[in-house]
Structure 1
């Protein structure tokens, strides 16, 4: 009986040996193609890995034949990025194996190359490396070590440490040559754009904001428009994260540089500087800082005569700042209402600016300013021509606030309404608020000019 078992085992070994020989021949052919051809296709590498996998599987049937010591295996099973034994090994297009979450983070950061070989990747698909996973499992069990579990999230210490090191290096280059500053600024803009977590990591570095902006406050901001644009855009990126807003606004160099950058530089720079002020203003405690910095006046200046793209961002910032009584009053005394009406006359940012007018029209000075310009004629025209229900409603609210008790404006409304019936139509078709405002205005007209009743 023993002889039959031995004979059977010998036969199995013989069969296994033949299979192994055949696989080796396939491997030799694949490797020759890779070694001979300079421009071999990536799939040739993948094919070689597949053949190696089959060869290893044959060897696994007889583990003692692997001939690999523990030191070699422990290094071979480590992810090149994390330096830890892989829990979920996957093959990249380059043929290199990594632990899934670490290589996924590498790719999510916008990298288009293999971490080890720096080869440009033809695709970013990740293929599970079942063989390596099996080898790791067997090695861990034989060594009495716990089998590593797949890691679902590595937004932890290792990845954070890597990005911190990268950010520090780039910030150090802000004190180097102009060329190095420009290269670093472009990369900082990209890194803070692609990942919210990067924005948090950046602001946690000591002195990061001051180091970032040092090239701008050490010389005229407009000296190098491309450098200025990348630095201001990076500042916008980090300001958009809630955890960073206070720290950014409280840095004494930030607001002055944003104000200056709204006036000088590329259109993109000016637009992003205004957008950064808006992002920072969404935190109530920052409104006080911005209000005392001179920024409201600078924003109004941009709204009065800036590029349309910049004006749009400035309008958003002013809308946010006007929720604070002190800043709202400050802007009203700077003739905000008149500036807005002139823009609405020119059909510029009508919907956005009407929202600001609703906020400020109840203030006596703003209402007085609106009575001095052709507000009635303009807003009735907007109601007539607009298809937006909110726009019509805002016009009605402003007209109701400004015209009530003012005979001259009510008379102007009376004349226009007698010709066009705009308010009457709004009272029938508008939103509930618009209907109420239109009805109130019609009632005021009738009470002020009794002859209009029944018209």
Structure 2
């Protein structure tokens, strides 16, 4: 299923590239004007072609983004994403295929380093729960050989044996959650939250079974925060550790849906964007960024007060929190219905102010480019007097991503029909003057990235059609 989805995504990308090439050919060939058509009719066709090119470019970016995410999350072994490893070959403690299977006194087989850690603290069998007569173990050569034969037959990359440390097991995490949700003292509660934060950060197996195997784990983790209410500022360390643990738990793909759908999560992350330490606010924004990568979560987060809080962080907070908030807003605004909400909360002037600081321009400029697809945003940029600022960035950037986003913004400006002829004349005049004075778009048309080249050529064609800035 995953393989067919990836193939379908790749086919969609190829189709979009063909459509884009066809549309750009129409724009670049003769301006879309046939010999038997008038000048005004021809310019109208060019405008429609530019709009279509922008639409295809946006769709292509979305598809290629999904392809990149799919590639990032896929296994290093092609077979690993398709094959189902027999459960008999998996260790119930590591939840992975065994590299060094060993048998213990109960007759059960486990991955060596996992059962070694288990037996350091306990004298029971993890599976049968029986008390063991001894804590010794021995290699299970039969299982080892069966796994080796299966991996060879199925061309499966069996992991090498490792001495890397491992995290706590389910029972131990359960005890930490008990201490967090029903503390004997605030000091003990804080220590337990701190330990859980360290475990979720360091060990993938802890985040893997946290949601899937521990009853009411999210509720028990978050219980102290709503209980504290408005006095949460008195306990910044506890809040930071709980929110940070939630961030690491959210980083696992299979946890994202359950985390975002939990009724406590989004409200508490939103509250933590406003209260707590700078690190708490940053980690709250980063957790929302991770969760917003799923389309279903975009709807959940977009229907809350979270968008308003994220925009506030971009406006006012330390730059690290603002960056994480910008990434979150970018993902959320891939859903068109969320764009109007963030614009109404003042996102555009906030982005412009951040861009003027000249730090991490490519992040804020990418979000600004995405937002120009929303009605009224280009006009707001013009009203805020930032057109010259965008010209300056585009003129001096060495970043290919910023070049693509800058040329996309100006391509959209060329094709924007607001009904205000004076505004449109002024806009096209500014674009033409920039090209005449600095050859900005000619440079991108010659040496930009593939996308920037196509966008810049379309802008140059529109300048050509516009003449001296009068309406074509």
Give 1:428-443 correspondences, 5 Å limit. Answer: 428-443=446-461
Give yes or no for the alignment of 1:314 onto 2:325.
Answer: yes
Give yes or no for the alignment of 1:198 onto 2:203.
Answer: no
Query: Is the 1:87–1:150 Cα contact (8 Å) retained in structure 2?
Result: no
What number of residue pairs does the alignment pair up? Answer: 329
Q: How many angstroms does 1:148 deviate by?
A: 6.8
Give 1:95-244 correspondences, 5 Å limit. Answer: 100-102=112-114, 115=120, 149=143, 163-174=169-180, 175-176=182-183, 177-203=185-211, 204-219=213-228, 220-244=231-255
Q: How many angstroms does 1:443 deviate by?
A: 3.6
Give 1:226-265 correspondences, 5 Å limit. Answer: 226-265=237-276
1:302 corresponds in structure 2 to: 313
2:438 corresponds in structure 1 to: 420
TM score, norm. by length of structure 2: 0.63
Query: Is the 2:102–2:109 Cα contact (8 Å) retained in structure 1?
Result: no
Q: Deviations over 1:288-344 (max 9, x none)?
A: 111111111111111111110001110110111011121123223333233222221
Query: Is the 2:428–2:469 Cα contact (8 Å) retained in structure 1?
Result: no
Give the distance between the partners of 1:299 and 1:161, measured in 2 at CA: 33
Give 1:39-58 correspondences, 5 Å limit. Answer: none
Give the distance between the partners of 1:375 and 1:347, measured in 2 at CA: 14
Q: Which runs of 5+ in 1 are unaligned?
A: 1-78, 89-98, 107-113, 118-131, 138-145, 154-159
Q: SS at 1:364's partner residue?
A: coil
Alignment RMSD (CA, Å): 3.4
Give the distance between the partners of 2:304 and 2:373, measured in 1 at CA: 26
Give the distance between the partners of 1:250 and 1:450, measured in 2 at CA: 55
Give the distance between the partners of 2:271 and 2:337, measured in 1 at CA: 23
Q: How many angstroms does 1:187 deviate by?
A: 1.0
Give the distance between the partners of 1:451 and 1:293, measured in 2 at CA: 44
Give the distance between the partners of 1:361 and 1:190, measured in 2 at CA: 41
2:129 corresponds in structure 1 to: none
Which protein is bigger by CA-based radius of gyration? Answer: 1
Give 1:391-410 correspondences, 5 Å limit. Answer: 391-404=402-415, 406-410=424-428
The partner residue of 2:344 within 333, 336, 340 is 333
Q: How many angstroms does 1:231 deviate by?
A: 0.6
Give the distance between the partners of 1:206 and 1:305, measured in 2 at CA: 39
Give the distance between the partners of 2:177 and 2:219, measured in 1 at CA: 10
1:286 corresponds in structure 2 to: 297
Query: Is the 1:371–1:402 Cα contact (8 Å) retained in structure 2?
Result: no
Q: How many angstroms does 1:82 deviate by?
A: 5.7
Give the distance between the partners of 2:167 and 2:464, measured in 1 at CA: 73
Give yes or no for the alignment of 1:388 onto 2:399.
Answer: yes
Q: How many angstroms does 1:286 deviate by?
A: 1.4
Q: Deviations over 1:401-432 (max 9, x none)?
A: 12446211222223333332222222222123
Of the two structures, which has the highest relative contact order with CA contacts closer than 8 Å and spacing of 6 or more?
2
Q: SS at 1:450's partner residue?
A: coil
Q: SS at 1:244's partner residue?
A: helix
TM score, norm. by length of structure 1: 0.65
Give the distance between the partners of 1:276 and 1:451, measured in 2 at CA: 47
